[in-house]
């Protein structure tokens, strides 16, 4: 068994896929009216031999008619590399259109920052790590 992808329901699959590709430095590799697929650069490079079991999951964005109404039951954790600054990454994401959100966390007691993408899907920015 292999974790192949994470599917994100959204209003605008085109815009959401481009936003997440920019955030992660990933590439859009497939696009139709019903889905857009975004993967890490190595997954799109046939010259890089990565065993199937070691390939990370891609993101698939699919348009849905209904909007987001409650806190996500599943979210993505992002971690800057060990030599980067969490605050700088948060500011970069805010400049791209993310915003900080309060889902009940105690900001003064946690080491992560809860944010939302342009359509309101929550994700966390962790402290730097390798």
Nearest 10 degrees: Cα torsion 45, 51, 57, 59: 20
For the residues 37-58, what does the mean pLDDT come to? 81
Quick one: tokens of 101?
């959100």
pLDDT band at 70 (very low <50, low <70, confident <90, very high): confident
The secondary structure of 21-39, three-state, reads HHHHCCEEEEECCCCEEEE
Kindly report, residue by residue over 76-89, the tens digit of the pLDDT.
999 998 889 999 99
pLDDT band at 17 (very low <50, low <70, confident <90, very high): very high
pLDDT band at 107 (very low <50, low <70, confident <90, very high): low
């Amino acid at each position: 068994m292999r974790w192949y992808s994470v599917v994100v329901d959204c209003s605008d699959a085109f815009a959401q896929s481009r936003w997440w590709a920019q955030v992660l430095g990933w590439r859009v590799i497939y696009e139709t009216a019903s889905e857009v697929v975004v993967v890490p650069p190595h997954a799109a490079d046939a010259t890089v031999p990565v065993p199937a079991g070691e390939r990370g999951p891609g993101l698939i964005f699919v348009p849905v008619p209904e909007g987001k109404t409650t806190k996500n039951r599943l979210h993505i954790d992002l971690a800057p590399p060990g030599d980067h600054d969490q605050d700088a990454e948060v500011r970069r994401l805010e400049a791209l259109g993310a915003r900080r959100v309060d889902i009940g966390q105690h900001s003064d007691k946690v080491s992560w920052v809860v944010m939302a993408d342009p359509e309101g899907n929550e994700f966390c920015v962790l402290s730097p790590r390798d």
